[in-house]
A and B are shown apart, each in its own frame.
Chain A
Amino acid sequence: MICKEEIVETQKKINTQRPKIFIGMATCGLGAGAKGIHGCIEQELEKQKLEADIIRTGCIGMCTHEVLVDVVSPGRTRVTYGNVNRAMIPQIIEEHVGKGDVVKKFALSQMHAKNEADTPYSNIPFFEDLEMNKGQQKFILRNCGYINPDSIEDYIAAGGYRALKKVLKTMTPKEVINEISKSGLRGRGGGGFPTGEKWASCAKYPADEKFVLCNADEGDPGAFMDRSLLEGDPHAVLEGMIIAGYAIHATGGYIYVRAEYPLAVRRLKHTIEQAKQYGFLGENILQSGYSLDINIKEGAGAFVCGESTSLQNSIEGKRGMPRTRPPQSVEAGLWDKPTVLNNVETFANVPFIINKGAERYSRIGTEKSKGTKIFSLTGKIKNAGLVEVPMGATIRQIVFDMGGGIPKRKRFKAVQIGGPSGGCLPESLLDSPIDYESLMGAGAMMGSGSFVVVDETTCMVEMARFFMNFCASESCGKCPPCRIGTTLMLDILTRITQGEGDEKDLDTLEQMCDEIKVMSLCGLGQSAPNPVRSTLRYFKDEYIMHIRDKACPTATCVALHKYEVIPEKCTKCQACIRNCPVKAISGNTKEVAFIHKEKCIKCNLCYEKCNFMAIK
């Protein structure tokens, strides 16, 4: 059991007088080579005979700049170095760790001082003032990248488990539910169902067993905020889950996490063990008389298991297929017992709400969508990474202010929000606010929060085909509208991208969109037509060009390439000439390139190498 002295002790440990080095070691950091940098730093410290604490943190959200290394000298602010490679390490270690002088040319930003005694460096921008972080409000991501996710002491020192103590010591389950209802929190997994309402309806069913489940089966291609939360601040998710468990009188809990996230699984196992050691989980939590045990279930690679009833079947050890509703899960869910299922991000919101109060929380966001939302910003964008914005922020703010716009001077074309269940929104909707209702009205969906930006080189028909292919292969096969419908739609889309489309196809597609939506059993099928419907709505001209002119305006669909140079766009750079394997292109610094059709083998290399989209 934890007592006050221990917390003080913990904080002391964190405030030692040794320099500290933080390395971002979430999946994105590791993918960029953080492991090698970690080893290199250790070696360099030894070589220079210096001492420092090395702390592995989660993701701070600036994924474009990975590997990120932060250095804190005693009494100074924390400085972040971006795009760190091995060559930079000796200098950083020598000057910053050794002498306390920041290496300005590598420094990206510095954090605001936590203690007033810490002096900031001049001429280094503050983290919050970076283009990418302006306009963001990091409430849920507050610990990600700051604390060591493997250390419960770090989490406690950052104010963790205070909400759980408050709930267990001073609030009844009913009061907890009321507080969550009042905050206006809605499910972050996509549907946006009011969390308080869900808990309340589960709480009213009496049962010998009840379950609280955390959906960490983040299957949306393009989404990684749940992974980042689990890797960067797993205790916050667990704390939210325990509070939910208390509110509905749950006797057991499961975290259903994707097996594709091995690091998150490892961290969660460790997190649960630590929480048990400290008395936050298990028998008689903090002597309140409430007991809860939470287990981890690894998913096995089926997208449909993100659907609540499928997920429950999968935990029970069956094929992960959905069932008809009612009964709803809150009445008869896992093993036919009342069950509450919430997404990772939803649970991470809970401790924040309890600590700050529902009233304070509901001041963030719009009238119907409260709080913040984390998006994983990727695709054709300068600053890819995690952004946490208050609900109601516009797409333009995310793409152009935080994201820094489109690289390589290309034009913005659309943003795909919500993965295979969401839709593609065009330039004309850049200024529309992001909240549940607005997105739904525009034909997209909050989804779990994937935010993929595409530029003018992306073909929207091909994009729709990509998502339909995904849904068709992930369909569990239980209900025919989804199983057969998605396959048929995929056939039509494939035909169109190969130049064999018919004008009637568009009507057929629209009709099938409606049918699949209405007749499918679960959310996967019901939302599968969304990417097609939204591209048909905003980019119909592209479909028509594919069908009528047998041409792909972005020249993405290889089957439709004509391999001709567009003279107005050609800059005579000769990149295509140098790369052509069969020397089928002629031209020089004075003449635009010309592709000799009789020699061309249609390998598509010239198209790929051209930076000016001058080949169609």
Chain B
Amino acid sequence: METVNEKRIQGESIDLSGVEEILEKYKGVRGALIPILQQVQAVYGYLPEPAVNLIAEQLNMGASEIIGVATFYAQFHLTQRGQHIIKVCCGTACHVKGAKKITEKLSKTLDVRVGMTTEDKLFTLEEVACLGACSLAPVMMVDEDVHGKLASDTVSEVIKTVKESNISQ
């Protein structure tokens, strides 16, 4: 597959060897499309078009079918996202305890709308249905860390810590 190994998209080249590795792992496994997409997204942060085409070719299915699956689930993204993903919980308990204010505060602090990525590609702000940590409402998740009992000022602190840890890395 040397021809598809590297494709140019928006002037930027993508190394597809990661996709091939994942495809190799799932060879012959039934119903493997979703885990494949999940792992490809874990590598690239989103589902790049060349990767989707390669998966389609290898699994012998239409790219449209894959896009159909990818757009059905909230987890998959077709465009590049930020380095850190902020998920604000909008479950019932968080809603009752003012999740809306948390989203507004984040939106203001980061200068980004819900579902969008900041200009420095550092953060993507998202709203999710429920993170299942209702007793700590309102809650948000930054990457895999859950932050609970939030208030407007603690939100800024969390963002500050994440930014600082980014610099120190």
Contact = CB atoms under 8 A, between A and B. Distances in A.
Contact of A379 (B30, B92, B136, B139): B92
Contacts of A32: 136, 148-149
30 contacts: A28-B146, A31-B147, A31-B148, A66-B136, A218-B132, A221-B93, A222-B91, A224-B132, A260-B128, A260-B141, A297-B31, A297-B35, A299-B75, A300-B37, A300-B76, A301-B129, A302-B74, A316-B30, A316-B31, A317-B31, A317-B32, A335-B30, A377-B135, A378-B92, A379-B93, A379-B96, A379-B137, A384-B134, A450-B134, A452-B93
A378 B132 CA distance: 11
Interface string A182-222: 00000000000000000000000000000000000011111
A262 interface: yes
Contacts, number: 142
Contact of A378 (B34, B73, B131, B134): B134
A476 B92 contact: no
B73 to A, nearest CB: 3
A220 B135 contact: no
Interface string B105-128: 000000000000000000000001
A219 B92 contact: no
* Chain A contact patch, size range: 35 or more
Contacts of B137: 378-379
Interface in A339-393: 376-380, 384-385
B28 interface: no
Interface string A24-53: 000110111000000000000000000000
A4 B96 CA distance: 52
Contacts of B132: 27, 218, 223-224, 227, 258, 260-261
A400 interface: no
Nearest to B33: A317
A524 B149 CA distance: 30
A164 interface: no
Contacts of A562: none
Q: Ordered nearest first, which 10 A-B pairs have the shortest CB separation?
A: A63-B135, A221-B91, A301-B74, A300-B73, A317-B33, A31-B146, A31-B148, A222-B92, A384-B135, A224-B132
A28 B32 contact: no
Nearest to A454: B96
B96 A320 contact: no
A378 B35 CA distance: 33
Candidate in A63, A64, A300, A419 with the most chain B CB atoms within 10 angstroms: A300
A320 B33 CA distance: 12
Interface string B36-59: 011000000000000000000000
Interface footprint category on B: 35 or more
Contacts of B145: 30
Given A303-B129, A385-B135, 10 more contacts: A27-B131, A27-B132, A28-B146, A220-B130, A299-B73, A321-B72, A378-B92, A380-B96, A384-B93, A452-B92
B29 to A, nearest CB: 9
A64 B135 CA distance: 7
Interface of B: 30-35, 37-38, 68-69, 72-76, 87, 90-97, 128-137, 139, 141, 144-149
A450 B130 CA distance: 12
Contact of A319 (B37, B38, B68, B75): B68
A297 to B, nearest CB: 7
B81 to A, nearest CB: 14
A476 B148 contact: no
Interface of A: 27-28, 30-32, 63-64, 66, 218-224, 227, 258-262, 297-303, 314-321, 335, 376-380, 384-385, 416, 419, 450, 452, 454, 458, 466-467, 470, 474, 476
Nearest to B76: A300
Given A224-B132, A259-B75, A474-B129, A318 B146 contact: no
Contact of B92 (A260, A316, A385, A416): A416
B94 to A, nearest CB: 8
Contacts of A319: 68-69, 72
B73 A224 contact: no
Contact of B73 (A30, A63, A301, A316): A301
Contacts of B90: 221
B34 A219 contact: no
Nearest to A226: B132
Nearest to A477: B72
Contacts of B93: 221-222, 378-379, 384, 452
B38 A259 contact: yes
A302 B72 contact: yes
A220 B128 CA distance: 12
Contact of A27 (B68, B75, B133): B133
A317 B34 contact: yes
B142 to A, nearest CB: 11
A218 B31 CA distance: 21
B46 to A, nearest CB: 14
Q: Which of B72, B90, B94, B146 has the most CB of A within 10 A?
A: B72
Contact of B34 (A261, A314, A335, A376): A314
